[in-house]
Structure 1
Amino acid sequence: MSDGTASYARTPRTTPTRYKDRATWERDAIHAILDSTYLCHLGFVVDGAPVVLPTIFARVGDRLYVHGSTGSRPLRGAKGDQGMPVCVTVTLVDALVLTKSAFNHSINFRSVVAHGTAHQVTDPVELSVALDALVDQTVPGRSAEVRPANAKELAATAVVRLDLDEVSAKTRADEADDDEADLDLPYWAGVVPVTTVYGAPVPDASTTVPLPAHLRDFTR
């Protein structure tokens, strides 16, 4: 686990070879990106071949919890004391950057890459904390407004834990960057913002209670 300092330690795997000025190891910056979404990609190796799976995650302190099922390959590999080497990536797209040349088009983004050894969560107390965090990462406050998982559901659900020891973030938040020779070309250039918008909640046919405050706040 981390030592509580303002930044995570730099390592060869978390130091980019291109655009190093866009990278940061600051804890607060990394946490802010992780807390802004709930979808990640979990990469690992099975029988010598790379596998990348999309799934949901939650951050609790300096630890990531990644959701899975008891029959999935990453969970089988993460069992035991040795765990499983993984790479977790998170990416947020903030804008499309359109330039007057095809070559210079870009994307404004925020991303996090974390390396380490994942372990399956087996302690019942920690598993309960992790599952609540996964629900609340998706919709804040939701875990307190639903029935908790029962024993059968807990047996069918699995979570892997990854400590944020080897992690970095990378961002781009710039305008269009055309070559000087292209500035007078008669083409449109600029930035197209990209946002995620949630629509008004639609109740299920069995729902008889009013819209709860956590959903009103979330969709607002």
Structure 2
Amino acid sequence: MLSTTERTRLKRAKHKARTDRGELYDLLDEGLVCHLGVVVDGSPRVLPTGYGRIGDTLYLHGSTGARSLRPEGEVCVTVSLVDGIVLARSGMHHSVNHRCAMVFGTPRLVTDEEERTAGLRAITEQLAPGQWDVVRRPDAKEMAATRVLALSLEEASVKVRTGPPNDDPQDHATPIWAGVQPVRTVFDPPVTDPGLAHDLPAPEHVLARVTGR
């Protein structure tokens, strides 16, 4: 079950809340980019960044020089997936069908080299499944310049909106089209790097996202 802290408990539209931790995992595994909310020098910042999940831990990474990766205390991480634009009869009832996860906690600096490597692998695989097994691994210099943070998924919430518009009953007779315009993420055929030194086709794990296999 997902946590029920004061920060993760929905105050409004409680029917949109989800309690199954499996839904959190599914949402995070489907996403590509998270938004990391941090406080730096007393000022809030929200940064889009890649992430990866291993079990109940979320991994983030960046340059050791990035002040955003040295947060002052707790952080908030969100991942949102848009499933459809809800077009209502009334301007006030337009909405977005979506799935959204919010995670609170104090990130832990990962110093164990084995866990650091596992975290970087998870982040790479989140963006491109199968890629870690075919690329050159980070060398000592690159690892020394990289900061890896681990964030527990213990305190997290999931909110989901589905279905048609929620127009007021008096607007149902209005001759205005209403419904949902579905939204989905698709991958186009890969574009080869013009600086590629060898005549190589795109690998199967990359093409698989295009063909849906």
Question: Does TM-score exceed 0.5, indicating one fold?
Answer: yes
When the two chains are superposed, the root-mean-square deviation of aligned CA atoms in Å is 1.3
- Does residue 45 of structure 1 match 2:51? no
Q: Deviations over 1:19-75 (max 9, x none)?
A: 111111311111000000120011122232211111111111000001221111132
Deviation readout 1:181-209 (Å, 9 max, x if unpaired)? 11111211110011111110121231422
SS at match of 1:111: strand
TM-score (norm 1): 0.91
The AA in structure 2 aligned to 1:208 is: D
**Pairwise mapping of residues 63-82 of structure 1 onto structure 2 (< 5 A)?**
63-77=57-71
Amino acid at match of 2:84: A
User: C-alpha distance in 2, partners of 1:30/1:90?
Assistant: 10
Q: Which residue of 2 aligns with 1:219?
A: 210
Cα pair 2:50 2:60 within 8 Å, conserved: yes
Partners of 2:159 and 2:3 in 1: how far apart? 15
- When residues 77 and 107 of structure 1 are mapped into structure 2, their CA distance, relative to the original with a 3 A threshold, is closer
Q: Per-residue CA shift, 1:82-116, capped at 9, x if unaligned?
A: xx310100100000000010000000000000000
Counting only pairs closer than 5 Å after superposition, residues 49-128 of structure 1 correspond to structure 2 as 49-77=43-71, 84-128=73-117
Question: 2-side partners of 1:138 and 1:47: how far apart?
Answer: 31
Residue number among 168, 178, 181 corresponding to 1:192 in the alignment = 181
**For structure 2, which runs of at least 5 residues remain unmatched after alignment?**
none
Residues matched between the structures, number: 209
State yes or no: 1:132 paired with 2:126.
no
Question: Which range moves more in the overlay, 106-115 or 143-152?
Answer: 143-152
Q: Distance in 2 between matches of 1:190 and 1:97?
A: 6
